[in-house]
């Protein structure tokens, strides 16, 4: 019987075919950095839409948030903040975006 999924660190199920491919690509880093990353805290981020913000709304949205170092319009937020329930989100003032996904957009600016 073929194993389709493998439980990583007792938490996430990943397809065995994917794990085999990643192990082949990463070599020694597979058992360390790659698998260990599943034990680390997830980062939550939002990216400001600079075309739809006044200074007042920008200040309100970014208050208490740390800027993503490689993206001028990116900010980290805590999971419990729930920014998708904010009226500014529905108005398009910012987007929910994983911080690492901000890299391509910041390279274009």
Q: The domain that contains 61 carries what CATH number?
A: 3.30.70.1170
- Per-residue model confidence (pLDDT) at position 24: 93
Range(s) of the domain holding residue 81 = 44-108
Q: Are residues 53 and 35 in the same domain?
A: no
- Per-residue model confidence (pLDDT) at position 46: 94
Whether the pTM exceeds 0.75: the reply is no
**Count of domains in the chain?**
2
Q: Are residues 71 and 94 in the same domain?
A: yes
The sign of the CA dihedral 94, 57, 109, 44 is: negative
Q: Of 66, 91, 87, nearest to 77 (Cα)?
A: 66
Print pLDDT tens along the chain (109 aa): 344 445 555 556 778 888 889 989 998 888 777 877 777 888 999 999 989 888 888 888 999 999 999 898 899 999 888 899 999 999 999 999 999 899 887 777 6
Helix, strand or coil for residue 22? helix
- Per-residue model confidence (pLDDT) at position 69: 92
Asked if 58 contacts 94 with a C-beta cutoff of 8 angstroms, the reply is no
- Per-residue model confidence (pLDDT) at position 60: 87
């Amino acid at each position: 019987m073929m194993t389709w999924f493998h439980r990583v660190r007792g938490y996430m199920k990943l397809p065995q075919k994917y794990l085999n491919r990643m192990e082949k690509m990463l070599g020694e880093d597979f058992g360390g950095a790659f698998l260990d990353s599943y034990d680390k805290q997830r980062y939550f981020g939002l990216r400001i839409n600079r075309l739809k913000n006044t200074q007042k709304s920008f200040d309100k949205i970014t208050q208490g948030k740390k800027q993503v170092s490689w993206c001028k319009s990116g900010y980290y937020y805590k999971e419990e903040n729930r920014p998708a329930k904010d009226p500014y989100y529905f108005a398009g003032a910012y987007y929910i975006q994983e911080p690492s996904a901000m890299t391509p957009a910041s390279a274009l600016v």
